Amino acid sequence: MSENLYLPETESKEEIYEALLPQIEALISSEEDLYANLANISAALKEALDFFWVGFYLVKDDQLVLGPFQGPIACTRIRKGKGVCGTVWEKAETLIVDDVDAFPGHIACSSASKSEIVAPIMNNNEVFGVLDVDSDQLASFDETDKKYLEKLMEILSKTL
């Protein structure tokens, strides 16, 4: 795997995800270190889709703890059921939040964050962690993001 991403010159998110996912799969399947892989996934998503903030929180005992990410500094610990990430941990399903100010209990790591998508990482039927993506625009995420980010978390799960 070369260390450059091939990214199509297109406005289509779908085409970008289609080009990106096999490259991420190749990148992480040849490396067994989890943090190296999470770091490269964050960087690849940031480079390809120019997300405001993208990164991981991993379950450690009774909290989610910040893992590798790209973007501004973020809160380090989130309790189960708290914020969007803690809710995704509790429900084990992806959440799309069009307006974070309208989400009860949203944890504002950055006041610039306006919308968010969070997808769970599953391992042996339990939530292992979450992928969190924030945008500085309202309603940035849709079913296309959900489909491909969930697919990416399945690819990641296979490496756990």
**Is 106 a binder of ligand SME (CB under 6 A)?**
yes
List the x/- string, 36-65, binding to ligand SME by CB under 6 A.
-----------------x------------
Q: Which of 20, 38, 46, 134 binds ligand SME (CB under 6 A)?
A: 134
Q: Give Cα separations from 97 to 11, 45, 51, 83, 138 (angstroms).
A: 22, 19, 15, 11, 9
Least separation in angstroms between CB 154 and ligand SME: 22
Question: Reading across the β-sheet that carries 126-135, which strands appear in turn?
Answer: 77-79, 63-70, 53-60, 126-135, 115-123, 95-97
Least separation in angstroms between CB 103 and ligand SME: 7
Q: In terms of DSSP bridges, do strands 95-97 and 63-70 run parallel, antiparallel, or are they unpaired?
A: unpaired
Span interacting with ligand SME, options 22-30, 38-46, 109-117, 140-148, rule CB under 6 A: 109-117
C-alpha to C-alpha distance for 53 and 45, rounded to whole angstroms: 10
Within 8 A by CB and 6+ apart from 2, the residues are: none
**Closest CB to ligand SME among residues 27, 41:** 41
User: Where along the sequence are the contacts to ligand SME (CB under 6 A)?
Assistant: 53, 74-75, 78, 83-85, 106-107, 109, 113, 116, 132, 134
